[in-house]
Structure 1
């Protein structure tokens, strides 16, 4: 049985960095490193001594960057994002809200565009809740919702230069 690029000379096994990660949803692709695993959550891995960015699964990403917890955390964040769209409740004033990750998130229309406010459960020294309003507004409701998710759960990837 082949081990894909793991068995090829010239393909580094360690020292890779994840530069992006994505959820393909219903689609699946084959991991470009092991060439066996069908993957939904794709880790885009780059290496200074390899010309191409590889799209790999969590297991290969963990081995390539030698950091199991980082790969698992990215995958967990992507999985949470997949369920983010469910469970929104209607506000009397017309917006939607959701309690998620210790925060109350509200999306609502203002001047024909969607905006976001986030109230965190953490209290400041002054015993006030932390409040965040998105500086940008959004044409689509889903973009406002995903902004809120990314604010609460930022995806940790390293810039690649």
Structure 2
């Protein structure tokens, strides 16, 4: 993904031109920051499917769609969940960075705008509270994705089995 190599600050003016000074731009910036681990891990998982099993499906004249749906996608699921777990924290970072860049800096807005507001007025206690809130939000998203991943994998994949 070429977008992962471009600094978000460098392309933020383009995003603002295309989407305006609003939440849409923040969502796009967050998406750009968090999409790469999902795509990368998904492709890794799809490519890591056992060649012997792929050939077995071909030997039994299964279509490529059937092999994808019944073999490659389930085999890639642990990798997809790992990418989602990484992206859960990056999405919070992306939203805050997006608000740093696009936010108005007043008392209204999301967590990123609030951090800039508190920092500009030297409200140290409020700044610590906002940083802790952002950290907890990242942990919450990570834990939620991890719990869903364990629920999906617990009966058949050794990474999620109790042991």
- TM-score bracket for this pair, using the shorter chain length: under 0.3
TM-score computed with the length of structure 1 as normaliser: 0.26
> As a proportion of its length, which structure holds more strand?
1
> As a proportion of its length, which structure holds more helix?
2
Indicate the structure whose relative CO is greater, using CA pairs within 8 Å and at least 6 residues apart: 2
